[in-house]
Structure 1
Amino acid sequence: MRRFPRSLLGIALALPLLAGCGLKPLYAGGSSSPVAATLAQVEIAPIEGKAGWLVANALRDRLGKPQGAGARYRLEIKLDDQITGLAIRRDDSVARERRTLRARYQLVEVGQAGVVLDATAGSDAGIDVVGSEYATIAAENTALERLSETIADQILTRVALYVGRAPAAQ
Structure 2
Amino acid sequence: MKAALALLAPLALTACGLSPMYAGGGSGAVAAGLAEVAIPAIEGRSGWLVRNALTERFRAAGASAPRYRLDVRLDERLEGLGVLSDDTTARERLTLRARYQLVDTADGSIVLDATDGTDAGIDVVSSEYAVIAAERSAEERLAKDLADRITARVALALRRLR
**TM-score per shorter chain, which class?**
over 0.9
Q: 1:145 aligns with which of 115, 140, 143?
A: 140
**Matched-pair identity in %:** 53
User: Partners of 2:30 and 2:90 in 1: how far apart?
Assistant: 45
Query: 1:43·1:67 contact (CA, 8 Å) conserved in 2?
Result: no
1:11 Cα shift?
A: 4.8
User: Partners of 2:10 and 2:24 in 1: how far apart?
Assistant: 23
- Code of the residue aligned with 1:99 in structure 2: it is L
User: Partners of 2:104 and 2:82 in 1: how far apart?
Assistant: 45
Give RMSD over aligned pairs. Answer: 1.7
User: Partners of 1:35 and 1:15 in 2: how far apart?
Assistant: 24
Paired position in structure 2 for 1:62:
57
Q: TM-score, normalised by structure 1?
A: 0.88
Q: TM-score, normalised by structure 2?
A: 0.92
The SS at the match of 1:105 is strand
Detail structure 1 runs of 4+ shifted over 4 Å in the superposition.
8-13, 65-68
Is 1:44–2:65 an aligned residue pair? no
Q: 2:155 aligns with which of 129, 143, 160?
A: 160
User: Partners of 1:50 and 1:162 in 2: how far apart?
Assistant: 27
Q: Which has the larger radius of gyration?
A: 1
Unpaired runs of at least 5, structure 2: none
User: Partners of 1:67 and 1:134 in 2: how far apart?
Assistant: 39
Paired position in structure 1 for 2:82:
87
- Code of the residue aligned with 1:121 in structure 2: it is D
* Corresponding pairs, count: 161
Q: For structure 1, which segment, 13-22 or 80-89, has the greater mean C-alpha deviation from structure 2 after superposition?
A: 13-22
User: Partners of 1:114 and 1:19 in 2: how far apart?
Assistant: 34
